[in-house]
Amino acid sequence: MKPLKKYTYWASAIVMSVLVVTCMSIEEIIHPDNAQVNSDIDIVVKIKIDADTDRSSKLAFGVLAPKSWNIANSAIVTLTTTADFPANVVTNESLTVIPAGENNPSDGQPWPTSFQSKFGVLGNTGPVEWVVFESNTTFQVHDKDDGTKKVINGTVNIKLHTGDRAIKLFMGYTFCGKQFGFSREEYNDDLFVSAKVLEVTDGDDPVWDYTVEPQISYVPATFSFGDIFSVKYNEPNSVTTGGLKGGNVYLYGKARYSANGITTEKVIDEISSKTLMDELGDMGQVTSWQKYIYPKDFFDLPDDAVIIELWVHFTNQDKSIIIVDNETEEDFNVEPTCQ
* Position 152 in a domain: yes
- The whole-number pLDDT of residue 54 equals 62
* Position 126 in a domain: yes
pLDDT tens track for 266-323:
999 999 999 999 999 998 888 999 999 999 999 999 999 999 999 999 999 999 999 9
Same-domain pairing of 73 and 151:
yes
- Collect all residues with Cβ–Cβ distance below 8 Å to 298 and sequence separation of at least 6: 253, 268, 274
pLDDT tens track for 71-88:
999 999 999 999 888 888
pLDDT tens track for 26-80:
999 999 999 999 999 999 999 998 765 567 889 999 999 999 999 999 999 999 9
- Collect all residues with Cβ–Cβ distance below 8 Å to 107 and sequence separation of at least 6: 114, 117, 118, 181, 182
Domain boundary among 209, 231, 263: 209
The whole-angstrom separation of Cα 198 and Cα 35 is 8
Domain boundary among 193, 209, 225: 209
* Position 128 in a domain: yes
The whole-angstrom separation of Cα 52 and Cα 55 is 9
- The whole-number pLDDT of residue 298 equals 98
Query: Predicted confidence band at 192 (pLDDT cuts at 50, 70, 90)?
Result: confident
Domain count, the chain: 2
Q: Where are the beta strands (DSSP E) in 139-261?
A: 139-141, 151-161, 167-177, 194-201, 208-209, 216-219, 229-236, 250-259
Domain boundary among 153, 174, 209: 209
List the domain range (segments joined by +) for residue 226.
216-334
Mean pLDDT of the chain: 86
* Position 2 in a domain: no
For the ranges 19-28, 134-143, 216-225, which has the lowest average pLDDT?
Answer: 19-28
- The whole-number pLDDT of residue 86 equals 87
- Kindly report the CATH number assigned to the domain that includes residue 264: 2.60.40
* Position 56 in a domain: yes
For the ranges 26-40, 119-133, 249-263, which has the lowest average pLDDT?
Answer: 119-133
